[in-house]
Structure 1
Amino acid sequence: MCGMFQRRVLPRIVVLASGNGSNFEAIANATQKGLLKAEIQALLVDRECFAVERAKRLDIQWIRLEKPWNSSLTKYLERLKPDLIVLAGFMRILPSEIVKEWQWKIVNIHPSLLPAFPGMHAIEKAYNYGVKVSGITIHFVDEGVDTGPIIFQKALEIKRDWSLKKLEEEIHKLEHRYYPLVIQKVLEKKWKIVGRRVILEEDIG
């Protein structure tokens, strides 16, 4: 009889961050609300950053990677054995050995419609270039810089009177809304590969 009431084991995720950590907190909030049915095992950071303060407030384990950070990251991933690695503003390129070992189990979010404006300062670059539409991209991680197979994109029309700060705010709203939803679909394996693009089985909106 006891087996009938065993606690359901949730998928385990590890979040990597280097900065403010707002996407990390959005993911954590989604797990608490049941929108994302997963357990955050730990936040891994490579430097002092505000994401750690968020982890402390949310009572989530956090780990500062030691130098050399590549071997430190490998060590903790082997110890934690997550079902998915989630990059949330992690400002390093993952080593090829980690990308290969965790293929299709590492996701990243980028604040532009890739392949436009890869790399750092994407929002500022898009704004200064004067594009009329930007947005977000969620993709699997490969060995390049923001070049992995795209899972999901959401476009955002830029209003003529928007400041750079306003554009950043609107981009972050999209990130916080859609990243947890897409992570859920990835964990549920509700996707397939078509060429270099990932097709979700269900429309997220």
Structure 2
Amino acid sequence: MDETKTFDERLIAAMGEMVNPTKSATAEVPTRSGGRYTYKHETLDQVLAAVRPPLIKNGIGLTQKQVWDETTQQYVLQTIVFDAENHRILDQRPILPFTDAQACGSWETYMRRYALRTAFALTGEDDDGKAAKDYVAQEPRNPTNHPLGKTTKQKPVERRKKMLARVTQLRMTLMERGLSEDGLNAYLIATYEVDSADKLTDEQLVDYGKQLAKTVDEYQGKEAGDVD
């Protein structure tokens, strides 16, 4: 470590030594028609392995912790670099409330990985992710396969459009309250393993709308209603 360099100079040097992590973990996701597709992603360990050694080499520590944000009145995840005299928050994103421990753990792991990539401008291979997205977009939709069964026969297209519109409205409200679009999308991936609401089944869409409405109620202190 060159002790004559400033903290920022050492941070820049560390970032220059970082290599984009390889996406070696594979996830399998069921599709609406009963098929399955897979996509690759990097693990949190792989991202940390790309980030920590260059930082330590340049005398810089790294931590990620949850803290209470008085401004937004919610818990946030902060990605922080530091040394004996300096302290920098490189990334901050909201932690959504969960009642399920597994969902909470999945969300935090995803957000830590995503925050590190954002903070240090890292990317990964996305060919498999693009292929999966294209595969889902090409799949035919069959209303008879929906989990809601007969309830989807009464104007299913109009009903789904109404649900999607309501979800979009709730997401916009949450973004106005300080939640990021990336964070909301990360919840979709962690909970339903899809990257956009229009890929949810009708049953999942109703559940997602209820979760959004509940979060809006908690942040705004007023009734937001359910998606129906």
- TM exceeds 0.5? no
> Higher helix share goes to which structure?
2
TM-score (normalizing by structure 1): 0.25
TM-score (normalizing by structure 2): 0.23
Choose 1 or 2 for highest CA Rg: 2
